[in-house]
C-alpha cells in the first residue's frame, strides 16, 4: 500500500513519532510529510493515509483541522489511521481527540492512537513556558509518550495492511 504519513508538530514530538512510525512500518521517509511545509497534498497516489497532530490549548492547528474537514470525503475513500500527542489525563485526551478529528474519520480509522506527549521547555517561547509551568508546576522538560499505545497502534496497522 502506498502510504502517506501527514503530521503537524509544534515542538517536534509528533514529528518524531511520525518518522518512528515510518521506520517501524517500512514506509519510506519521503512519504512522511509535514503539513506546515506542504498544504497541497495529492492524495490520488496514496491508498493509506496516517494522520498525526498534537494538541495545544485544546486544539490541533486550526488550518489542519479545516484541511481535514475539507478533505473528509476524499480521505474516506482511503484506508486511514489517526494518532495524537497530548499531555492531558486520559478522559480529557479522549475528549480532545473527539473534538478535533471529524467523527467520520475517527470511525473509519483502522487505529486511533492517543499517545501522550512531551513538554520540551527548551523549545517553548516565553508564553508557552508560563502556561506549562502553571499546569505542570515545574520548568523541567518531561517525556510522557505512551509507548504501549504506540506499539498497539503499530501492531494494528501491521495486521491490517502491507505498507510501502
Ligand X SMILES: Cc1cc2nc3c(=O)[nH]c(=O)nc-3n(C[C@H](O)[C@H](O)[C@H](O)COP(=O)(O)O)c2cc1C
115 binds ligand X, rule: CB under 6 A: no
CA 49 to CA 79: how far, in whole Å? 6
Among all residues, whose Cβ is closest to ligand X?
117
C-alpha grid cell, residue 162: 502491507
Give the contacts of 98 (CB within 8 A, at least 6 positions apart). Answer: 106
Looking at residue 57, the DSSP 8-state letter turns out to be T
Q: What are the Cα distances from residue 72, in Å, to 29, 86, 152?
A: 25, 23, 25
From the list 31-39, 64-72, 127-135, 153-161, the region that binds ligand X by CB under 6 A is 127-135
Of the pair 7, 79, the CB lying nearest ligand X is at 7
From the list 42-50, 65-73, 79-87, 102-110, the region that binds ligand X by CB under 6 A is 79-87
18 binds ligand X, rule: CB under 6 A: no
Of the candidates 51, 81, 87, 111, which one interacts with ligand X according to CB under 6 A? 87
- By CB under 6 A, the count of residues binding ligand X is 24
Contact indicator for 32, 5 with CB cutoff of 8 Å: yes
Site residues, ligand X (CB under 6 A): 9-14, 54-58, 85-88, 93, 96, 117-119, 124, 128, 131-132
Amino acid at each position: 500500500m502506498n502510504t502517506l504519513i501527514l503530521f503537524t508538530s509544534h515542538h517536534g514530538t509528533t514529528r518524531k513519532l511520525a518518522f518512528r512510525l515510518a521506520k517501524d512500518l517500512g514506509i519510506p521517509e519521503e512519504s512522511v510529510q509535514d503539513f506546515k511545509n506542504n498544504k497541497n497534498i495529492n492524495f490520488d497516489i496514496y491508498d493509506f493515509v496516517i494522520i498525526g497532530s498534537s494538541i495545544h490549548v485544546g486544539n490541533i492547528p486550526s488550518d489542519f483541522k479545516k484541511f481535514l474537514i475539507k478533505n473528509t470525503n476524499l480521505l474516506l475513500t482511503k484506508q486511514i489511521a489517526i494518532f495524537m500527542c497530548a499531555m492531558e489525563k486520559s478522559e480529557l485526551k479522549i475528549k480532545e481527540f473527539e473534538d478535533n478529528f471529524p467523527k467520520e474519520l475517527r470511525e473509519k480509522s483502522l487505529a486511533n492512537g492517543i499517545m501522550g506527549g512531551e513538554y520540551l521547555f527548551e523549545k517553548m517561547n516565553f508564553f508557552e513556558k508560563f502556561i506549562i509551568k502553571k499546569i505542570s508546576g515545574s520548568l523541567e522538560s518531561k517525556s510522557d509518550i505512551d509507548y504501549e499505545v504506540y506499539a498497539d497502534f503499530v501492531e494494528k496497522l501491521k495486521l491490517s495492511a502491507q505498507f510501502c
